[in-house]
């Protein structure tokens, strides 16, 4: 048990929501923060930053790298981290991504130097694609439509469970020994999109096909659905990281930090199917 007060940005999101639950189970006083969260925090409204940080011991930072339009992650995180240190927040855990090359002209690790320079104790998390993209994120509609059209070729991705990312974040926020670490977080095995679709098909008894589409065609399709062009390119570039096997090798970080295996994609699929996540 702990008497720490922890601010969780993205507190309604995939990792944040799970982190809030895990921190509460460990007795922490938790502030779940976002635009619609119990604690109001809006990256676009500076007036919300200071109140959210007051009296906080440690903070989990989630930025908005996938926002269409201009978003200067480095600048925003630098400013927030400085305010956090001024507000006597001692520890910062930053969620970034296991994507080191720019995608759609954006860097998904742009905030890292800012927390390193802040003067707070810092830990950086770089996860692979989350399992939860299939049941609560960008891939949900495709699964329900029975066709996942993506420019991922036959590339492999060791999808990681958002609950495992949250569990590592909880440890880094509450326990000593993780300051100065950059944790690359993956699931236990790398799957192709075809294999992932096959596992979901078997679990729900309805056909979900993976169709590999060329990068340019995918961008055009998204734009036809009125997705902003810059966001379409961002997503296509991100998926192309899978196609090119950029981050396909599983890491042992979840096991090293938590002392247990990361959750397997099959367990995630079985649970999501049992919950009716893909019911029509
Ligand atoms: N999805 C993945 O597979 C994956 C993998 C690796 C890394 N990441 C990184 O994880 C981060 C979160 O991505 P996600 O897809 O998992 O999203 P998410 O956390 O499920 O959802 C985004 C969260 O941010 C909050 N938010 C949105 N706009 C905001 C704003 N203007 N001010 C404050 N909070 C705001 C949302 O709550 P409200 O709507 O209530 O504000 C929500 O809690 C991103 O930085 C992404 O790069 C994601």
Residues paired with 209 in a beta bridge: 147
Count Cβ atoms below 10 Å from residue 247 Cβ, excluding itself: 25
CATH assignment of 5-132+158-187+247-263? Answer: 3.40.50.720
Q: Is the CB of 165 under 6 A from ligand 1?
A: no
Residues 163, 18: contact at Cβ < 8 Å?
yes
What's the pLDDT at 1? Answer: 67
| Ramachandran category for residue 104: left, alpha or beta (phi over 0 → left; psi -120 to 50 → alpha) | left
Instruction: Give the domain ranges of the chain.
Output: 5-132+158-187+247-263
Ligand 1 nearest-atom number relative to CA 11: 43
Rounded CA-CA distance 14/132 in Å is: 7
Residue owning the nearest CA to atom 24 of ligand 1: 10
CA-12 nearest atom, ligand 1: 43
Residues 241/99, Cβ–Cβ less than 8 Å: yes
**CA 105/CA 9 separation, integer angstroms:** 24
What Å distances lie between residue 276 and 159, 162, 203, 271, CA to CA?
A: 21, 18, 11, 9
Per-residue DSSP letter, 154: T
Residues of the chain with pLDDT under 70: 1
Residue to substitute in 7, 8, 14 for testing ligand 1 pocket (most ligand atoms within 8 angstroms of CB): 14
pLDDT score of 132: 98
Q: Which residue has the tokens 């909880």?
A: 170
Atom of ligand 1 nearest to the CA of 67: 28
Q: Smallest Cα–Cα separation from 148: which of 160, 138, 161, 162?
A: 138
Identify the pLDDT of residue 71: 87
Cβ 137 under 6 angstroms from ligand 1: yes
- Is residue 84 within 8 A of residue 114, CB to CB? The reply is no
Quote the ligand 1 centre to 205 CA distance (angstroms): 31
Q: Which atom of ligand 1 is nearest to the CA of 17?
A: 43
Cα 177 to Cα 19, 100, 122, 174, distances in angstroms: 19, 25, 11, 10
β-pairing verdict for 58-62 and 29-34: unpaired
């Amino acid at each position: 048990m702990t008497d720490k007060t922890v601010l969780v940005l993205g507190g309604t999101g995939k990792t944040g929501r799970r982190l809030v639950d895990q921190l509460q189970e460990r007795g922490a006083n938790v502030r779940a923060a976002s635009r619609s969260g119990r604690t109001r925090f809006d990256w676009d409204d500076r007036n919300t930053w200071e109140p959210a940080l007051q009296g906080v011991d440690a903070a989990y930072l989630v930025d908005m790298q996938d926002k269409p339009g201009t978003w200067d992650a480095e600048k925003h995180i630098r400013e927030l981290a400085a305010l956090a240190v001024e507000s006597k927040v001692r520890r910062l855990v930053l969620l970034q991504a296991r994507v080191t090359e720019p995608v759609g002209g954006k860097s998904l690790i742009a905030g890292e130097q800012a927390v390193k320079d802040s003067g707070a104790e810092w830990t950086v998390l770089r996860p692979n694609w989350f399992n939860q993209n299939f049941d609560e994120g960008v891939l949900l509609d495709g699964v329900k439509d029975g066709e996942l059209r993506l420019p991922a070729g036959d590339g492999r991705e060791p999808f990681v469970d958002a609950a495992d990312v949250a569990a590592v974040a909880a440890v880094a926020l509450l326990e000593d020994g993780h300051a100065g670490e950059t944790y690359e977080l993956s699931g236990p095995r790398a799957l192709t999109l075809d294999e992932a679709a096959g596992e979901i098909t078997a679990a729900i008894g309805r056909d979900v096909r993976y169709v590999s589409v060329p990068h340019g065609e995918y961008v055009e399709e998204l734009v036809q659905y009125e997705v902003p062009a810059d966001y379409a390119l961002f997503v296509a570039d991100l998926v192309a990281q899978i196609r090119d096997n950029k981050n396909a090798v599983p890491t042992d970080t979840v096991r090293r930090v938590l002392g247990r295996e990361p959750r397997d994609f099959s367990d995630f699929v079985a649970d999501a199917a049992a919950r009716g996540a893909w019911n029509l």
